[in-house]
Chain A
Amino acid sequence: MKPINKSLSRRSFLKLCGNTLTTCAVCSLPFLDSEHLPAAKGEPGVKEATYYDVLGEKKIQCKLCPHECRVADRERGTCGVRENRNGTYYTLVHSIPCSAHIDPIEKKPMFHYHPSTQAFSIATAGCNFICKFCQNWEISQKRPEQVEYMKMPPQQVIAIAKQRGCKTVAHTYTEPVIFFEYMLDCAVLGKEKGVPNVMISNGYIQEKPMRELCKYLGAVKIDLKAFTEKFYQEICGGKLKPVLDTLTVLKDEGIWFEIVVLLIPTLNDGKAEISQMTEWIVKELGPDVPVHFSRYYPTFMLKNIPPTPPETVITARKIAVDNGVKFAYVGNMISEWESTYCPSCGKVLIRRMRFATRIEGLKGNKCKYCNETIPGVF
């Protein structure tokens, strides 16, 4: 999508928003270019995994994510997509995404990385978490043989992205950490061919594989699901500390990254928690990291809590701003705080309404009104 002419009338802008939403809907149809195959016809997707230790007597210990699953022969790790076969650990999902769509990069959400462009977005089955509020549980919580998939090796991923005019490839929807090898191969090739890859992740990954990915990825978005161990353990099946460690690794690597916080009433939306979280972000990661606060909607195993009131999201954003976060956004709702404002002069730099984006005040990576440098990749 080209940047919108800033002299558009209100009517034209709304019309454009409508068109964009229609395009998104069309692009969200299952990607039918590739071959759809039922599971269990042979075994595509199987490739030896990286990052595991051999323990002897055919046992292994996975070293990809902080679960560090000890996996006996013929068993799988928590993710359900990595299997021990006779003492060798395999990924079962290399090159077999179960989902492929073209999305605006803003949908990830990622606001400071090639805004107003499209991302060819792929996912395989599986996740290393079991978030009770997962929107994509029908693929993230399943095993590869329980979903339909398509064969799409990295060369094809990059070729489709280029052919469809996508600026980036996004590894998203489920948890890309669990299809690490596939994502890495796509990222290496994408870097070579000028199609940067982005990882939309829960950040539950060990330091070594994360640093390896950083060499090839263009950007990362991390879901910081809460700021308490209790929430991570009871609601997600993981731990907070490793996610914070990943964020500091990203900072250390100098890769562009953004943070998303999905606010769930009574579980993680306390003002004190938001304050502690954003204080930590500013102190450890700096004030330039964009933080997106999103509304939750009931789904999967969490249907007894109503959607997050918009005012809760607005309040969280304000707390973040008060704590020094320069780019705090709201998501899953329409608001003026979806747009990017210059932290120096306060003028609108990028105007957004859901996934419709208009670049208004940016010249390169500077505010065209006051010449303030805006962090990100534009």
Chain B
Amino acid sequence: MSLTRREFGKKVLASAVGLGASLYLPGMPFPREKESFVAVARSTKLQRVGNQVNKAAAAEYLALSMKAITGTPSDASAWKSLFSADETVGIKLSCLPGLPLSSGRGLVMAVVDGLRSAGVREENIYIWERTGRELKSAGFEISHVGINIVGTDYYSNAGYSRDIVFSGSVGTCFSKILERVDAVISVPVLKDHDIAGVSIGMKNFYGAIYNPNKFHGNRCDPYVGDLCNHPMIRNKLRLTVCDATRVQVNNGPAFYPKFAREYGGLLVSRDPVALDYTGWQIIEEERKAMGLKSLKMVDREPTYILSAAKLGLGRADEKYIKKVNI
């Protein structure tokens, strides 16, 4: 078959347009919109009762937050704009501190309901953490039936990839669970971190690699950004839902009641940097309210968030972060 010069040019142009469109599909991470939306919900209903997060309250405020950040009219359409029914989705929890300060079960199950509303099948949902032991300590039972609740440890028959991957200053092996899923939701807890300054959504991915202890130098900067810049995370992370029902303001990342605040909050964003930046500012405000010095003054300013912004992972500039209070 022969093509004229004009037809050939047309086809090339059409292909280029198609390729451009395919590079920016709905549901893809880090949209290049004018502003990054971060929903900040607060309510006494979101405060923990004992160590439990109320699922109905979490679902109510999560739905409002999802509509706010996606600009869609309904809860279900918000989830459908980010996830499609045939996808496998990992929900990365943060369970190191145990039940009092881990990703609240009520909130996690509200996220699961959101995915269900987008048509994602239960068996394609992986609630996941570094180890089964940590999941159990946070009140989750390991399960391979229906929704998968698994750790990356030997016990869960998951493990880490055999090949070393590189991303900037980071060389590591990823959790096979992360490799297995099409999309990821990070569900961290809003907390102070003794080395990094704060540990929120991006640092949560230290629980997705086999050697996190090697990347805590220089307050985790630039390691957190470099890690999240790897396509394995960058291309899969669709949403961060931060449990701020109880916030560790100082002496984290473990639970330390003296410096914990019953904040009754929830932070939701598609931009992981904007969410971490917003969470950092909340911790600074709460520190101030408790009479504590700023993180900069105690030499723990989380500059890794700023470095991540420089990599193009999201925004850490208030001019471009649209905070939506709910």
Contacts and interface: CB of A to CB of B under 8 A. Distances in A.
B97 interface: yes
Contact of A146 (B154, B217, B256): B154
Contacts of A57: 251, 256
B97 A58 contact: no
A301 B213 contact: no
B288 interface: no
A146 B159 contact: yes
Contacts of B256: 57-58, 73
B179 interface: no
Interface in B227-268: 251-254, 256
Interface string B154-166: 1100011000101
Interface stretch (A38-46, A289-297, A314-322): A38-46
A69 to B, nearest CB: 8
Interface in A74-104: 74-80
Contact of B164 (A75, A237, A300): A300
B144 interface: no
A70 interface: yes
Nearest to A74: B254
B119 interface: no
Contact of B214 (A72, A75, A78): A78
Contacts of B35: none
Nearest to B98: A74
Interface stretch (A21-29, A107-115, A137-145, A358-366): A137-145
B121 interface: no
Contact of B154 (A40, A76, A130, A300): A40
B155 A73 contact: no
Interface in B8-54: none
Contacts of B275: none
A143 B207 CA distance: 12
Nearest to B252: A72
Contact of B131 (A58, A75, A142, A145): A145
A167 interface: no
B214 A130 contact: yes
B133 interface: yes
Given A74-B96, A237-B214, A301-B166, A145 B153 contact: yes
Contacts of A75: 96, 194-195, 253-254
Contacts of B193: 72
Contacts of B131: 40, 145
Output the residue of A58, A132, A141 with the most chain B CB within 10 A.
A141
A208 B261 CA distance: 42
Contacts of B97: 74
B219 to A, nearest CB: 12
B194 A70 contact: yes
B90 interface: no
A146 B251 contact: no
Given A40-B133, A143-B210, A146-B159, A70 B154 contact: no
A142 B131 CA distance: 14
B171 A301 contact: yes
Given A72-B195, A146-B159, A300-B164, A58 B251 contact: yes
Nearest to A237: B214
Interface residues of A, number: 29
Given A78-B216, A301-B171, A142 B252 contact: no
Interface in A243-295: none
A223 interface: no
A148 interface: yes
A326 interface: no
B211 interface: yes
A141 B210 contact: yes
Contacts of B254: 58, 72-75
Output the residue of B154, B211, B213, B251 with the most chain A CB within 10 A.
B213
State the majority secondary structure of interface residues on B: loop
Interface string A46-78: 000000000001110000000000101111111
A59 B160 CA distance: 30
Contacts of A41: 155
Nearest to A80: B213
B197 interface: no
A329 B217 CA distance: 36
Contacts of B216: 78
B155 A39 contact: yes
Contacts of A38: 154-155
Contacts of B195: 70, 72, 75
Interface in A117-173: 130, 132, 137, 141-143, 145-146, 148
Output the residue of A39, A73, A132, A137 with the most chain B CB within 10 A.
A73
A301 B163 CA distance: 10
A39 B153 contact: yes
A40 B132 contact: yes
Output the residue of A39, A70, A74, A80 with the most chain B CB within 10 A.
A74
A261 B214 CA distance: 24
Contacts of B133: 40, 145
Contacts of B171: 132, 301
Given A74-B254, A141-B211, A148 B154 contact: yes
Contacts of A80: 211, 213-214
Contacts of A148: 154
Contacts of A301: 164, 166, 171
A58 B250 CA distance: 12
Nearest to B131: A145
Contacts of B132: 40
B204 to A, nearest CB: 15
Query: 3 closest Cβ contacts across the A-B interface?
Result: A72-B194, A73-B254, A40-B155
25 contacts: A39-B154, A40-B131, A40-B132, A40-B151, A40-B155, A41-B155, A59-B194, A72-B193, A72-B194, A72-B251, A72-B253, A72-B254, A74-B98, A75-B253, A75-B254, A76-B213, A78-B216, A80-B213, A130-B214, A132-B171, A141-B210, A141-B211, A145-B154, A300-B164, A301-B164
